Amino acid sequence: MALNKEGPMERKRFFDELESMDRKDRDLYQLEKLKEQIKRAYENAVAIKELFDRANIKPDMIKTFYDLEKVPIIRKTDVIEFQKRYPPYGGFLTVPENEIQRVFITPGPIYLPHQIEEISWFGKSFFAAGFTKGDVVINTPTYHMSPAGILFHEGLRVTGATVIPTGVGNTDSQIKTMLDLKVTGFAGMPSFLMTIIKRAEELGYNFRKDFKLKKAWFTGEMLPASMRKVFEEEYGIDTYQCYSVTELGGCVAYECAEKKGMHFMDEYLIEIVDPETGKSLREGEVGELVATPINNPYWGLVRFGTGDMTSYITEPCSCGRTSYRITGIVGRSTDAVKVRGMFIVKKQMEAFFANIDEISRYQVIVERKEQRDELSLKVELKDESIDRSELKKRIEEEFPKSLRVRLDRIEFCEKGNIKEEETLIDKRKWD
């Protein structure tokens, strides 16, 4: 645990008391907040009333977290549809319009009324990533229309860090700013930081020696383990990830110094569900992240389906934060197929095969035989001299560890039989 307890100012361990709350107490707290949110939304937001009435649900029917499964999942397309019917806020607003402090606009367009939070939700994430007074940070997302720039800015400020609103793009001026102002921190997307580093090298700098950058906080795209390794080992930058969702107006999960998954943000009720049925999944199973903001008196969303596929772990974290963690986003629900009750996400599967050097091409095929999903794998080898039985045994063992489903068959093919882009094929027909 890297939190510094020494030094002139002893640093507190947690951003707020919720983070280290006893799990039973958190459940009670969140359930209470959830009921309030649902009642407020039902009474004030016409879209929610309409959705609940259509599903024959009354707010007082939600007595436990599991009762929430009865509520239909609201997706981005539904929000856009509702905003067309009930312009401009789609019937999700729970306060009078003249109470709105600011409105963000996200692609769709979705008009997203936003309250200025009492405590910045992103602040928790920056705090957990070790940002503090004395840090000088370039904040590189856009400050226009979308919430990213302003919300990260506010989150950084509550940690005491100095923020430079550099915004998007302008790599060369970002580089000059970093040098002139001795920038120690970066907030934005990992690919953009890599662009900055490569450009600085092109200009003749030795990044590690000439720059003071020590910390980077990422959101907006996933950080591949290989890229993280380059940042940390080659460039000496401590990296952190945050999972944020624009339509939810904030940070949904964030990494601590342990970097073993992202802690659920207490300001949401987070579920990992089967995107087809909306039912909660068990620990470790891959499903869609669905979140209900429970501390947002403005925005009456209930069960917003993010379309992002992940799984969760309940194991206590050694940082002392008691919330569950998501293990990382493995892909989109539209990119997933359900096989014997488990979702195989294409990207996650491709990441698995990327680690098997002996394979040049492969194809995973899902079929339905005698009322059972059958999963087979076709493989083309890089080199015909590879020991097939050893490789077959290894894939049979490792595939279910990563994808949680067993392969029924592995078949080796001659080169040229598999199309590179067709890595996952679903041949099942549902009549």
CB of 173 within 8 A of CB of 203? Answer: no
Chain position carrying tokens 């998954």: 261
Q: Does 321 bind Zn ion (CB under 5 A)?
A: yes
User: Is 263 or 303 the residue whose CB approaches Zn ion more closely?
Assistant: 263
User: How far apart are CB 178 and Zn ion at their closest, in Å?
Assistant: 29
Q: Which 250-309 positions form the footprint of Zn ion (CB under 5 A)? A: 256, 258
Q: Which stretch binds Zn ion (CB under 5 A): 6-14, 22-30, 318-326, 415-423?
A: 318-326
CB–CB of 302/37 below 8 Å? yes
Of 113-121, 214-222, 317-325, 366-374: span binding Zn ion (CB under 5 A): 317-325
Q: Are strands 336-339 and 342-345 parallel, antiparallel or unpaired?
A: antiparallel
Structural contact between residues 263 and 314, judged by C-beta atoms closer than 8 angstroms? no
- In order, the DSSP letters of 303-333 are SEEEEEEE-EE-SPPTTS--S-EE----EEG
**CA 57 – CA 375 distance, rounded (Å):** 39
| Cross-strand partners of 369 | 372
Tell me if residue 125 falls in helix, strand or coil. Answer: helix
138 or 262: whose CB is closer to Zn ion? 262
Find the shortest distance in angstroms from Cβ 131 to Zn ion: 16
For residue 132, give both structure tokens.
Answer: 């503090």
Q: 243 - beta bridge partners?
A: 253
Minimum distance of Zn ion from residue 72's CB (angstroms): 33
Spell out the residues 6+ positions from residue 399 whose beta carbon is closer than 8 angstroms to its own.
352, 377, 405, 406, 407
Supply the DSSP symbol for 232: I
Cβ closest to Zn ion, residue 313 vs residue 391? 313
Q: Give min distance, CB of 248 to Zn ion, in A.
A: 21
Interatomic CA distance for residues 138 and 131, integer angstroms: 12
Q: Which of residues 9-48 bind Zn ion (CB under 5 A)?
A: none
Complex with Zn ion: residue 304 or 312, whichever CB lies closer: 312
Query: Which residue's CB is nearer to Zn ion, number 124 or number 404?
Result: 124
> What is the Cα–Cα distance from 126 to 157, expressed in whole angstroms?
9
Instruction: Write down the least CB distance from residue 19 to Zn ion, Å.
Output: 9
Helix 190-202 and helix 171-180, axial crossing angle in degrees, nearest 10: 80
Judged by CB, which is closer to Zn ion: 297, or 320? 320
Q: How far is the CB of 198 from Zn ion (least distance, A)?
A: 32
Question: Which of residues 83 and 125 has its CB atom nearest to Zn ion in the complex?
Answer: 125
Site stretch for Zn ion (CB under 5 A), options 71-79, 160-168, 314-322, 395-403: 314-322
Judged by CB, which is closer to Zn ion: 114, or 124?
Answer: 124
> Which of 166-174, 205-213, 312-320, 343-351 is the region at the interface with Zn ion (rule: CB under 5 A)?
312-320
Strands 304-310 and 331-332: antiparallel
Give yes or no for residue 317 binding Zn ion (CB under 5 A).
yes
Q: From residue 84 to residue 113, what is the string marking binding to Zn ion with x (rule CB under 5 A)? A: ------------------------------
Place of tokens 């493989």: 379
The count of chain residues that interact with Zn ion, using the rule CB under 5 A, is 5
Q: Which of residues 390-419 bind Zn ion (CB under 5 A)?
A: none
Per CB under 5 A, 380 contacts Zn ion: no
Residues 6+ apart with CB under 8 A from 320: 13, 14, 19, 20
Per the structure block, which two tokens stand in for 303?
């069960």
Q: Looking at beta carbons only, is 321 or 361 nearer to Zn ion?
A: 321
CB of 263 to Zn ion, least distance (A): 6
The CB-of-329 to Zn ion minimum distance in angstroms stands at 18
Which stretch in 40-48, 78-86, 116-124, 315-323 sits in contact with Zn ion by CB under 5 A?
Answer: 315-323
> Per this entry, what is the length of the chain?
431
If you write DSSP's letter for every residue of 402-414 in order, what string do you get? HHSS--SEEEEE-
Return the H-helix or E-strand segment holding 336: strand 336-339
The 238-257 contact track toward Zn ion, x by CB under 5 A, reads ------------------x-
- Token pair of 287, please? 């499903």
Considering the complex, what minimum distance in angstroms separates the CB of residue 318 from Zn ion? Answer: 7
Q: Hey, is 106 helix, strand or coil?
A: strand
| Number of CB atoms found within 10 A of residue 128's CB | 25
Minimum Å gap between C-beta 321 and Zn ion is 4
Q: How far is the CB of 338 from Zn ion (least distance, A)?
A: 31
Please, which residue, 26 or 321, has the CB nearer to Zn ion?
321
The contact set with Zn ion (CB under 5 A) reads: 256, 258, 317, 319, 321
